[in-house]
Structure 1
Amino acid sequence: MKTTMEFALKLFKLLLGSFLCAVLLISAACSSKEDRKQSYFDRGMELYSQGNYTKARLEFKNVLQIDPKDADAYYMFGLLEEKEENWRKAFSLFFRAVELKPEHQDAQVHLGTIYVLAGETEKALEAAEAVLKITPDHSEALVLRGFALTKSGESNAAIEDVLSAFSIDPSNVEAASLLSALYADRGELDRAIRFASDSLQQHRDRVASYLLLARLHAKANDDKAVVQVLTDLIQSNPNELQHRLHLVSYYKEKGNAKLAKTVLKQAVKDLPDSEDAKLALVSYLKSNKDVVGAESLLSEYVAQNQDNQTFKIELAKHHISLNRQVEALQVLSDVINQADLSTDGLMARTLKASLLVKEGSTQEASQLIEEVLEADPKYKDALLVRAGIALVSDDPDRGIADLRTLLREDPGHVKAHRLKARSHLKKGEVELARQSLEDAVKAQPQETATNFELVQLLIQTGEFDDAEVVLQKMRRFAPKEISVLRGLGIVYLKQKNWSELL
């Protein structure tokens, strides 16, 4: 009996020990998991504050791999996409953050701002109210509500909200900017300029403050003041090319080509290592129809920088724009030989392949594209070219597969949607073709060629009422487009709508 009791006691102690060990191990694992997640997040925030957005993105990705429901990580991802103006991705990420954590005030404000920009003022107001219920004096939420009210035509209520935000946080740049714009819309330009000027004095590092003040001076027809503000912006950071381009744009708008060109030439001189400055000057010459000058300058840059493939690729694109296929192919072949499978080499191969397809040399083009996709399976332009080759080679299924890969990476790629539509038509899949074209229109609602391609499909399939709806929308953004009027004429004829034809 005693032996049995002793055995039972030992077994109980053993099981208890095992249980406690298991609990401790689980606890340690959970603790370790949380510690790792927090470490990744903290590192991501540090990198974000340093402006190292690429590495910050990796840290926040690590957070989400550990915890796919971390709202803060989604929010930070959204900020990164917002900085790159990837609004569709930013919206999805802010939406997910709010979905996981409705009380996430910063995510609500950013989500609401995108809603306003998209014309969804009611949803923007809902986002603002969600924050103000928690924090009634949240200055950014007040600005958001003011912004939404402005878009809804309620300027007096908007001014009240923005003034409240400004009194809570006098350093709020968005409040000062919106208030200035509201006063300007009411014709109180002097008051608007005063607010914008005061805001700039407090935020000399804020580019938007310079641009706002410049716009207000332009509205007041004070050219001298506009030039002074934009010159001050350049002097605030002389190494930033974009600041100079703002002044160039203003001179172009005023029709002063000589001064615009002078600013660009000075940029090339002041920023000798900047490829973008040189290319901006070339682009400006082209936009002013100085094709000879642009080509001469590009050739000069190529001669001075034999190892720089960027200028060669631009020269090839220049030749392509003038239908000089032989010259373009020669330059691209040179880049391929020198750049191998670097970024420039992949771009040159893809451009050369697209030219070869037009010449009917699909076999050589395919070989180049395979080299690109072996190096980078998600290279968008190469996937697009291979899909085009598949279409002309009567292999639409392969093309559709490539285009789906591309569209997963870039859902707003209009050319991919249009090519996918043609591939579906090749297979007789009319509904899928229509869906692809409608997706393309959603991505770029005012792109005339895409809308008209959809109209043509609708007419061919007898969907005349739907075709008319698209054409009427087109009239609003392209009222002088002859093809729109011609399309409406065809639709009315098919509908036997004689009153509209007369």
Structure 2
Amino acid sequence: MRQTKTNRNKIASIACGVVLLIGCNSPEDAALDHFQKGKELFEKGEFDRAFLELKSSNQDDDKRGETYYYMALLDEKANNIKSMRQNLIRALELEPNLIDARIKLGKIDILFGDFEKALDQAEAVLKADSSSVDAQLLKASVYIRQAKKDQADEIVNGVLKVNPDNIDALAISAAIYYERDDKSKALALVEKIIEKDNKNLPARLFKIRINAAQNNIDSVVEGYKELIELYPDNSNFKLSLASIYSMTNKLDLAEALLRERVDKEKDNVESLIVLLEFLNAKAKDRVISEYESMLGHYQKQANLLLELSKWMVASAYPEVAKKGLQQVVELEKNSDTGLAAQTILAEMALANKQYDTVESALGSILGANSEFIQANLLKARLLLVQNKTDEAIELLNKLIWSKKSADDVYSLLGQAYLVKKDRKLADKNFKQALEANPANMGAFIQVYGSYLQAGQRETARQYLEKALAVKPNQTLFLINKAELDILEKKWDDAQNVVQRVALFSKDKAVPLYLQANVFQGKKKYVEAIALYDKVLQDFPGHLNSMINLARSYEALGGRNKAVVYLEAHHNKHPDDLSIVGVLTDLYLADKDYGKAKKILTDHIKRLPKSVAAYLALARIEAIVNNNMLAAKNVYLEGLKVNQDDPQILMALAGLYEKINDKDSARKLYENLLAKSPDNNLANNNLASLLIDSNNAEDINKGLQLVEKFKDSENAYFQDTYAWGLVKAGNAPEGLKLLESLVLKEPKLPEFRYHLGIAHYNSGNKATAISELKQAIALSEKQKRDFSGKDDAKKKLQEIDHSANK
């Protein structure tokens, strides 16, 4: 029956009559009701129920900014900063006069590094209320981060004059003193805050930070003990204190804290694994017995046993882990947990190249569940091992649609595309793996490393922070963070991470070395030298420790002390080439060529097959005699003992090239390739010689040699291929590749020269002139010649001469 307008009105009236006792409210009334309830529940501390009410208000077309403000407060409780920021922005769109929302948004803007936005929030509040202390302190917080300490100080002092007990003002003042390296005044202010607000967590953490910066370990320990007492449920404080104990070699105390955590957090696999990681780093001989004890204690908890056994496999205890995995299989049979254990056992067989065992296990597992993702991933790995890359990629692309273990699927796809030398698709898949799981180790190593190598540290840091949020105790992530913080001179951040590394690093030299880096960065050179010395006692040839030790001595004005130290170190370890290398560099820096030659010749007498020593000695002979030919005899002597050594042959061939004896260089490269046809550098260098000749047969031969470099990641190899195309008459294709290379490497004169000739051969004389001039200018600026410089000058003269005809 068609519904008329009158019918609809009657139905509405009846509906209101039916619900009259419980109310027939408008959406606006319903929203208000939900908001009031949500607000009351929030103030009572019933946050989950408050969230549901506020969410309902939000969905009921609520136009109150206050609703979003309280949603933001709930986000703050849950430490969900991104959502908090969005809710605050929405709150202010609806109600611009919400002062508290502006102040909170300003503080978040500071966290995100949007200092100008934070200042805008402060100014907006001050426009409405010029006496707002919160807005003034927000401005001061921004000024500190903008290194405008005097302006920040002026604001803070004004607030403290009116209210000397304002905790936020005291905190900012303490930060100013800390930045000015007046740690004692900063500490006094922080202690005043704690006196007034005993449970002020930021102040207590800042106090620990100040004491750590002053290397006051006892006070740092006491600070963490107090935090543990105040916040007994926060396990991170116990981990931090355990890290300090580990750094100071109080391993019994560290272990006691970790065991206390295990006892308190019953059946928490993470706390069990943290204990195993600690033992693996500090008492390796006890790992197996501890694991076996856990197997007995949790013998009926299959999922927990599986996670512990996976850790044992990943930590190089595969044979021991078998016991736990078999225990899981007995408990779970062909359930998902049981199949996961069976798959790990099969993966171990793959690692041992027991391919028949793997095939048999896969048949059994996939027979029980053909869609079991881990087994299908293992099948793809087996295909890759069997060089069936296309089959592996086809299988993995099918697995993507299952959306299970997506990170492992994408990561393995990335590895497969690396095998096919398709870096673009490999990178795309590695990034997708990290979107699914930021802590996927294989994908992280590839992506983080590529961004770091490209100098994109901020992007690299974003990936690192996400990985640590998922796995905060993973040693590799922690070491990467410490190294990145050190690289960017974030000494306090690095210090905090080094403490955590000390707890879990299997190699005790790693945290010592990183801590020495921090001391060196903070100009605490005496402390740094002491730690570098400790590293070198256990690892005499640790190159970076020797280099940094020498730099620390030099910073103290005592390079001679570095020489004395390393000479004594060399006497204890006379055969260590790394020590010889560092000492040689110090002698060269002092222009003490006699000592440099002596230490190298003595080393060669003891170890005549030391190729690196011959190469270093050849360099010194060339410097001393101011003649490259002086290196020739050293290379020839080296070849008598190290016959056909590729490094010495390459160095000698390079020498022949520099003195323009191209025939001798060509013969050496040809001999090298006859014995090692896969030597890419020899391939490239020989091809360059052939292509630079004006013989068509040689040019074509050279081009054939480097055709395999068409898609190489090495820009120099690609340049040789592109130059070969140009010289062989295929200027358009060579030009296209050279233009892309110059975009990547704009400051290499060789590339500019080749691009200039390519443009000339294509009839683009104006562009050719520009590129050739840039090649020469770059060469002169960098004070180095390049092959083709004379030809570039000659070509410019030819173009100029033809233009003036």
Following superposition, the deviation at residue 125 of structure 1 comes to 2.0
Does the aligned pair in 1 maintain the 2:156–2:172 contact within 8 Å? yes
Is 1:117 the counterpart of 2:111? The answer is: yes
Paired position in structure 2 for 1:394: 394
Of 227, 238, 249, the match for 1:244 = 238
Q: How far apart, in 2, do the equivalents of 1:351 and 1:173 lie?
A: 55
Does the aligned pair in 1 maintain the 2:160–2:166 contact within 8 Å? yes
Instruction: Report matched runs for 1:305-384 at 5 Å.
Output: 305-308=298-301, 311-323=304-316, 328=321, 331-332=324-325, 334-335=327-328, 364=365
Superposed CA offset, 1:113-147 (max 9, x none) = 33323322222222333333334444443333222
| Equivalent position amino acid for 2:277 in 1 | S
Is 1:491 the counterpart of 2:715? The answer is: yes
Is 1:205 the counterpart of 2:429? The answer is: no
Is 1:42 the counterpart of 2:39? The answer is: yes
Q: How far apart, in 2, do the equivalents of 1:233 and 1:474 lie?
A: 32
| Equivalent position amino acid for 1:197 in 2 | E
Is 1:28 the counterpart of 2:25? The answer is: yes
Gaps of 5+ in 1: 1-14, 373-380, 408-412, 456-466, 481-485
Is 1:298 the counterpart of 2:313? The answer is: no
| Equivalent position amino acid for 1:45 in 2 | F
| Equivalent position amino acid for 2:265 in 1 | S
Following superposition, the deviation at residue 83 of structure 1 comes to 4.6
| Equivalent position amino acid for 2:224 in 1 | L
Does the aligned pair in 1 maintain the 2:238–2:258 contact within 8 Å? yes
Following superposition, the deviation at residue 197 of structure 1 comes to 0.2
Q: How far apart, in 2, do the equivalents of 1:75 and 1:82 lie?
A: 10
Does the aligned pair in 2 maintain the 1:43–1:59 contact within 8 Å? no
Does the aligned pair in 1 maintain the 2:430–2:444 contact within 8 Å? no
Does the aligned pair in 2 maintain the 1:75–1:94 contact within 8 Å? yes
Is 1:142 the counterpart of 2:136? The answer is: yes
Does the aligned pair in 1 maintain the 2:242–2:258 contact within 8 Å? no
Paired position in structure 2 for 1:128: 122
Q: How far apart, in 2, do the equivalents of 1:61 and 1:176 lie?
A: 37
Following superposition, the deviation at residue 195 of structure 1 comes to 0.7
Of 424, 444, 447, the match for 1:450 = 447
Following superposition, the deviation at residue 65 of structure 1 comes to 2.8
Instruction: Report matched runs for 1:161-176 at 5 Å.
Output: 161-164=155-158, 173-176=167-170
Q: How far apart, in 2, do the equivalents of 1:77 and 1:347 lie?
A: 39
Does the aligned pair in 2 maintain the 1:113–1:144 contact within 8 Å? yes
Does the aligned pair in 2 maintain the 1:233–1:243 contact within 8 Å? yes
Following superposition, the deviation at residue 174 of structure 1 comes to 4.3
Paired position in structure 2 for 1:257: 249
Does the aligned pair in 2 maintain the 1:261–1:284 contact within 8 Å? no
Paired position in structure 2 for 1:8: none
Q: How far apart, in 2, do the equivalents of 1:365 and 1:85 lie?
A: 42
Is 1:104 the counterpart of 2:95? The answer is: no
Q: How far apart, in 1, do the equivalents of 2:67 and 2:26 lie?
A: 21
Bigger shift: residues 385-394 or 62-71? 385-394
Is 1:188 the counterpart of 2:182? The answer is: yes
Does the aligned pair in 2 maintain the 1:176–1:199 contact within 8 Å? yes
Q: How far apart, in 2, do the equivalents of 1:77 and 1:425 lie?
A: 46
| Equivalent position amino acid for 1:214 in 2 | I
Classify the secondary structure of the residue corresponding to 1:205.
coil
Superposed CA offset, 1:67-91 (max 9, x none) = 4665444444444444554444444
Classify the secondary structure of the residue corresponding to 2:312.
helix
Does the aligned pair in 2 maintain the 1:264–1:280 contact within 8 Å? no
CA 56–28 in structure 1, closer or farther in 2 if over 3 Å, else same = closer
- TM-score of the pair, normalised by structure 1: 0.66
Does the aligned pair in 1 maintain the 2:30–2:60 contact within 8 Å? yes
Superposed CA offset, 1:159-214 (max 9, x none) = 23344555677665444333212111213222111110011112222332222112
- TM-score of the pair, normalised by structure 2: 0.44
Does the aligned pair in 2 maintain the 1:108–1:131 contact within 8 Å? yes
Following superposition, the deviation at residue 265 of structure 1 comes to 0.7
Bigger shift: residues 115-124 or 383-392? 383-392
Does the aligned pair in 1 maintain the 2:91–2:101 contact within 8 Å? yes
Superposed CA offset, 1:384-414 (max 9, x none) = 99999999462566555566x999xxxxx8x
Gaps of 5+ in 2: 1-7, 351-357, 383-389, 462-482, 488-543, 545-680, 682-711, 719-740, 743-747, 751-778, 787-805
Q: How far apart, in 2, do the equivalents of 1:163 and 1:384 lie?
A: 63
CA 183–34 in structure 1, closer or farther in 2 if over 3 Å, else same = same
Bigger shift: residues 19-28 or 296-305? 19-28
CA 423–81 in structure 1, closer or farther in 2 if over 3 Å, else same = farther
Paired position in structure 2 for 1:3: none
Bigger shift: residues 75-84 or 242-251? 75-84
Classify the secondary structure of the residue corresponding to 1:257.
coil
Does the aligned pair in 1 maintain the 2:85–2:105 contact within 8 Å? yes
Q: How far apart, in 2, do the equivalents of 1:388 and 1:44 lie?
A: 53
| Equivalent position amino acid for 2:175 in 1 | A
Q: How far apart, in 2, do the equivalents of 1:368 and 1:139 lie?
A: 65
Structure showing greater Rg: 2
Superposed CA offset, 1:270-290 (max 9, x none) = 8733246554433322343x3
Q: How far apart, in 2, do the equivalents of 1:299 and 1:41 lie?
A: 50
Classify the secondary structure of the residue corresponding to 2:195.
helix
Q: How far apart, in 2, do the equivalents of 1:327 and 1:449 lie?
A: 30
Following superposition, the deviation at residue 433 of structure 1 comes to 7.6
| Equivalent position amino acid for 1:297 in 2 | E
Is 1:235 the counterpart of 2:229? The answer is: yes
Following superposition, the deviation at residue 423 of structure 1 comes to 9.9
Is 1:268 the counterpart of 2:259? The answer is: yes
Q: How far apart, in 2, do the equivalents of 1:29 and 1:96 lie?
A: 23
Aligned residues: 447
CA 394–192 in structure 1, closer or farther in 2 if over 3 Å, else same = same
Q: Root-mean-square deviation (CA), in Å?
A: 5.4
Q: How far apart, in 1, do the equivalents of 2:411 and 2:212 lie?
A: 41
CA 434–282 in structure 1, closer or farther in 2 if over 3 Å, else same = closer
Paired position in structure 1 for 2:213: 219
Paired position in structure 1 for 2:58: 64
Does the aligned pair in 2 maintain the 1:388–1:399 contact within 8 Å? no
Q: How far apart, in 2, do the equivalents of 1:371 and 1:395 lie?
A: 13
Following superposition, the deviation at residue 93 of structure 1 comes to 3.8
Does the aligned pair in 2 maintain the 1:57–1:77 contact within 8 Å? yes
Does the aligned pair in 1 maintain the 2:125–2:135 contact within 8 Å? yes
Percent identical: 20
Superposed CA offset, 1:247-306 (max 9, x none) = 223334xx3122x54144156358733246554433322343x33323322332332343
Q: How far apart, in 1, do the equivalents of 2:146 and 2:456 lie?
A: 26
Q: How far apart, in 2, do the equivalents of 1:387 and 1:449 lie?
A: 20
Q: How far apart, in 2, do the equivalents of 1:129 and 1:103 lie?
A: 13
Following superposition, the deviation at residue 225 of structure 1 comes to 2.7
Following superposition, the deviation at residue 366 of structure 1 comes to 10
